[in-house]
């Protein structure tokens, strides 16, 4: 068992958010959300969580055990529970998003409309400061609807009048608390364990800059610390965040296999075939194993041009080799 997987009460933080006022986190039952709540708890913050009505009880219990006040409600529309969650929060943190939404849910709804509702709820509740986490690669002319809709979501926040900061991480990896992994890593672990070979779009030659989830959570806490300081220091442009290692998807899979003690061949999945398979998955699966957007992303590098992680953490990020050790216990 990796030393990075710890009891939440043992998590340490260099930040002190005690007395800064309530911090609201939406999307709190997700992979990043649960880790951010743990980091906030270690920083002495007063935590509120807004979770959707379909959230699993075991995920809600993780948040409650960390000392969070959990509100179960809807972000879009009239909902007294979500209204109360936002009321007079010092900072509201927006985390809702997915690379592969459930069937019938579009990126535009999940990212743009949800962010618009987040802004409306925040302003109605008297919130003046906000933090949003999007994704590295977000831009207006992105080929994937995931990244282009994230860009539109960022515009909703930037133009809202709220004092805000935006973080754009690369692939998040590892685990520190709770039971969740990123969807991509979970899928890779499953394929490595169950299949005779690991198919990668275009052979996995695209480059990544994986960031340990604990470092991402603390980077968010650092941003909240800046937003709630007396000077209300605001990072006016989105910050790119990545780990210290740059490697191809192919190399990442090989490192995962080494940690798991598995040696299987990697086969190249041509782009047209991958798109066809993704289209079928989207048509018949409630949550597609692979989406067309994921295929498009697999054809492009996802690395920082200006990595700001050390600026926020005040130290170097956890090495990839260390972050991956958590999976050795699976």
User: If DSSP states are collapsed to H, E and C, what string results for 261-319?
Assistant: CCCCCEEEECHHHHHHHHHHHHHHCCCCCCCHHHHHHCCCCECCCCECHHHHHCCCCCC
Residue 124 falls within a domain, yes or no? yes
* Angstrom distance (rounded) from CA 86 to CA 212: 29
Q: What is the pLDDT of residue 232?
A: 63
Q: What is the pLDDT of residue 2?
A: 45
pLDDT at 9 over 60: no
pLDDT at 231 over 80: no
- What's the order of all strands across the beta sheet hosting 91-94? 69-72, 46-51, 22-26, 91-94, 129-133, 163-169, 239-241
Q: What is the pLDDT of residue 239?
A: 97
Q: Which pLDDT band, with edges at 50, 70 and 90, does 84 fall under?
A: very high
pLDDT at 22 over 90: yes
Residue 45 falls within a domain, yes or no? yes
Residue 111, C-beta contacts closer than 8 angstroms, at least 6 positions apart? 96, 97, 149, 150, 152, 153
pLDDT per residue as tens digits for the range 158-188: 999 999 999 999 999 999 887 788 888 988 9
Q: What is the mean pLDDT of residues 94-120?
A: 91
Residue 238 falls within a domain, yes or no? yes
Residue 268 falls within a domain, yes or no? no
Per the model's pLDDT, the better-predicted residue between 201 and 180 turns out to be 201
pTM: 0.93
Residue 203 falls within a domain, yes or no? no
Q: With beta carbons less than 8 A apart as the criterion, state whether 25 and 36 touch.
A: yes
Residue 151 falls within a domain, yes or no? yes
Q: With beta carbons less than 8 A apart as the criterion, state whether 67 and 41 touch.
A: yes
pLDDT per residue as tens digits for the range 123-135: 999 999 999 999 9
Residue 158 falls within a domain, yes or no? yes
pLDDT per residue as tens digits for the range 295-327: 998 999 999 999 999 999 999 999 999 999 888
Residue 29 falls within a domain, yes or no? yes
Q: What is the pLDDT of residue 3?
A: 46
Domain span at residue 236 reads 20-180+211-242+303-315
Domain with residue 81: its CATH number is 3.40.50.720
pLDDT at 249 over 90: yes
E strands of the chain, at which residues? 22-26, 46-51, 69-72, 91-94, 129-133, 163-169, 172-173, 198-201, 207-208, 211-212, 239-241, 247-248, 266-269
Report the domain count for the chain. Answer: 1
């Amino acid at each position: 068992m990796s030393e990075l997987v710890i009891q939440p009460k043992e998590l340490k933080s260099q930040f002190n958010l005690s007395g800064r006022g309530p911090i609201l986190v939406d999307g709190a039952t997700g992979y990043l959300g649960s880790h951010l709540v743990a980091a906030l708890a270690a920083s002495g913050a007063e935590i509120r969580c807004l979770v959707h009505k379909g959230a699993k009880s075991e995920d809600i219990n993780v948040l409650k055990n960390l000392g969070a006040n959990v509100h179960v409600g809807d972000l879009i529309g009239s909902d007294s529970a979500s209204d109360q969650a936002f009321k007079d929060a010092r900072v509201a943190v927006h985390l809702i998003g997915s690379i592969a939404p459930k069937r019938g849910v579009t990126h535009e709804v999940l990212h743009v409309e949800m962010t618009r509702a987040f802004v409306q709820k925040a302003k109605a509740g008297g919130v003046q400061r906000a933090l949003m986490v999007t994704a590295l690669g977000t831009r207006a002319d992105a080929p994937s609807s995931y990244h282009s809709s994230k860009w539109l979501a960022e515009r909703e926040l930037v133009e809202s009048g709220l004092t805000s900061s935006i973080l754009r991480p690369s692939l998040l990896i590892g685990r520190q608390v709770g039971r969740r992994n990123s969807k991509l890593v979970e899928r890779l672990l499953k394929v490595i364990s169950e299949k005779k070979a690991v198919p990668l779009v275009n052979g996995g030659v695209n480059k990544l800059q994986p960031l340990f989830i604990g470092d991402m959570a603390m980077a968010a806490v650092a941003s909240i610390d800046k937003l709630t300081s007396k000077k209300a220091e605001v990072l006016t442009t989105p910050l790119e965040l990545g780990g210290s290692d740059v490697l191809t998807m192919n190399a990442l899979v090989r490192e995962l296999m080494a940690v798991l003690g598995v040696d299987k061949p990697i086969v190249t999945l041509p782009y047209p075939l991958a798109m066809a398979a993704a289209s079928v998955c989207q048509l018949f699966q409630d949550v597609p194993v692979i989406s067309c957007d994921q295929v498009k992303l697999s054809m492009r590098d996802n690395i920082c041009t200006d990595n700001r992680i050390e600026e926020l953490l005040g130290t170097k990020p956890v090495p990839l080799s260390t972050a991956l050790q958590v999976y050795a216990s699976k």
